[in-house]
Amino acid sequence: MLPDVLAPGLDLVFCGTAPSPVSFKARAYYANPGNAFWPTLHAVGLTPERLAPERFPELLAHGLGLTDLNKTEYGSDHELSADAMDAASLHAKLRRFRPAAIAFTSKHAAALALGVKAPGYGRQERTLEGAVAFVLASPS
């Protein structure tokens, strides 16, 4: 699977469910050409230029991180096994690295990590291990 991009004290960590088949094959986060993740990061000012997916490790230099809830499988949410969704591991990573915020790029991942059935989009009422939590529309 894809390696986590995490370091202590990041401003924001993005968390998806699992890599898509395209991302798995490319060994890069959000690698499908139609995915809006990388253009959006630049458009909203989080990166100074539009990064190509294979440059994902460079996000650390911008105070940003990446991870997935499922670190053992790839595919669409409906193809993934429930047993491989590891919310406990995500919580441990948040306790260890202490980012200021976490943004879920999947409602499914957000629901599992936050322990709610249907989280709304935007800032969540509760924090997650001290990180302000957001649920974003899927970029894919």
Task: Give the pLDDT score at 28.
Answer: 99
End-to-end CA distance of the chain: 19
Domains of the chain, residue spans: 12-125
More confident residue, 133 or 82: 133
Could you list the beta-strand ranges (E) of the chain: 12-16, 64-68, 101-104, 122-128, 131-135
pLDDT of residue 37: 99
In three-state secondary structure terms, 96 is helix
Q: What tens digit of pLDDT does each residue of 76-109 get?
A: 988 999 999 999 999 999 999 999 999 999 999 9
pTM recorded for the entire structure? 0.97
Report pLDDT digits (tens) over 5-61. 999 999 999 999 999 999 999 999 999 999 999 999 999 999 999 999 999 999 999
Q: How far apart are CA 133 and CA 84, in angstroms?
A: 22
Q: Which CATH number fits domain 12-125: 1.10.3470.10, 3.40.470.10, 3.40.190.10, 3.50.50.60?
A: 3.40.470.10
Q: How confident is the model at residue 4 (pLDDT cuts 50, 70, 90)?
A: very high
Antiparallel, parallel or unpaired: β 101-104 and 12-16: parallel
For position 20, what pLDDT does the model report? 97
Q: Scanning the structure block, which residue is given the tokens 């936050």?
A: 114
* For range 57-75, the mean pLDDT: 98
